[in-house]
Amino acid sequence: MRRKEFSVEEQNEIDAFLSGMSYGYLATEGADGWPHLTPLNYAYWNGNIYFHGSRAGSKMKEIAQSDKVSFAVSKEYAIVPSYFTDPRQACPATAFFKSVHIRGVAEPVEDLDEKAGALSSLMEKLQPEGGYAPITAEDPEYRGELRGVSVVRITVSELTAKFKFGQNLNEERRTHIADSLKERGRPDDAETAELMRRFCPHHQ
């Protein structure tokens, strides 16, 4: 069910989520007319989505045929069982999540400095401990690699975000679920309870 109370418009929240996640799903139009969905690592840099791959790959051929793409990123934080709030009915079972859906125009990047910046952003996300030489177009050992690798920029045309953390629940029910999550103690449960507090419509 689409609920407007789950929609998020604060750009800082969206930027932080896209910067923190490591992979998303690219939707292109397949050669056979069917949608083609590809999971891939990405960088969110300067307000654009970047990814890399083989110049001969299917997604590159599909982008050459149609540059209109969709890109989605999501994270499920917690499954909320029905018995947290109802001892009998299954209906209250739900999940709390963040999701971002982007419609945009995909274009291969040719500028080596832009390629280096996008790939540096990706490496900072995937390998924050370092252990590699900085990626620059001036480095002769990277320059050939940068020329050879395919990097694609998705320029965002439309973005929608939904962060669902019990905003539609009354305070008593929301508090009970948050306390139950903290007591359960699974990975992300404590963070989910804190996000419920942050996104509570009455919490400022």
Following DSSP, what letter does each residue of 148-175 receive, concatenated?
HSEEEEEEEEEEEEEEESSTTS-HHHHH
Q: Which of 172, 170, 180 is nearest to 79 (CA)?
A: 180
pLDDT at res. 195: 96
pLDDT at res. 201: 65
Q: Name which residue leads in pLDDT, 134 or 200.
A: 134
Whether 42 contacts 24, CB under 8 Å: yes
Q: Is the pLDDT of residue 1 over 70?
A: no
Q: Residue 33 gets which letter from DSSP?
A: S
Q: Is the pLDDT of residue 204 over 70?
A: no
Q: What are the tens digits of pLDDT across the range 96-122?
A: 999 999 999 999 999 999 999 999 999
Q: What are the tens digits of pLDDT across the range 26-83?
A: 999 988 889 999 999 999 999 999 999 888 888 999 999 999 999 999 999 999 999 9
Q: Is the pLDDT of residue 94 over 80?
A: yes
Q: What are the tens digits of pLDDT across the range 141-154?
A: 999 999 999 999 99
CB atoms within 10 A of CB 188: 14
Percent of the chain scored above 90 by pLDDT? 86
